[in-house]
Amino acid sequence: MKINKKVEDVLNKQVNAELWSAYLYLSMSAWCERQGLKGFANWMRVQFQEETSHALKIYDYILNRSGEINLQPIAAVERSWKNVLELFEATYNHECAVSEMITSCYETALAEKDHATAGMLQWFIDEQTEEESNALEIIDQIKLVGDKGDGIFFIDKELASRTFVDSTKKAE
């Protein structure tokens, strides 16, 4: 069944938002690299990969429902933060905004009685809960140790071990 036009439009906007998120995290990764925080940079680079995979999951879904892809320009992103605490507070706030966007897509799907899309979007709602929680956990750690010195060094080492796992792929 062809996807509803209103649902298609909000999903296309979400593809753009996910790609903008990817750009934001890539910018954050570059900022971390400039600060000598390779572990923080790695964490943000993995976020970049996740957001790209999220965009592609929605992109593929639109195509699979015989919809039309409408790619739009990606707006510029922030390039600088005062410190890692501000960086992760921006990350948390951004993830909360993404959660609101996903919820809006979900509500549009329900209003249009597109239960297949609502079901697909439930995965994103669950994912956003995890994204917000992860950012808050790191904020708590940074607040505990302060934003300089040994504590940041240890958090940086921990974040360096994060690897990308494309959780949007179906288990085979």
Question: Burial of 30 by CB count in 10 Å (0-12 exposed, 13-18 middle, 19+ buried)?
Answer: middle
Side-chain half-sphere exposure of 27, counting CA atoms within 13 A: 17
Domain ranges of the chain: 5-159
- Res. 170 pLDDT band, cuts 50 70 90: low
Does the domain at 5-159 match CATH 3.10.20.30? Answer given as no
CA 95 – CA 5 distance, rounded (Å): 26
CB 8 within 8 Å of CB 127: no
Give the CA diameter of the chain: 57
Residues 118-159 pLDDT 10s: 999 999 999 999 999 999 999 999 999 987 789 999 999 999
Q: How many helices (H) and strands (E) does the chain have?
A: 5, 0
Band of pLDDT at residue 172, cut at 50, 70 and 90: very low
pTM across the whole model: 0.94
- Render pLDDT for 37-87 as a digit per residue (tens, 0 to 9): 999 999 999 999 999 999 999 999 999 999 999 999 999 999 999 999 999
Find, among 172, 169, 146, 132, the residue nearest to 53 by Cα: 169
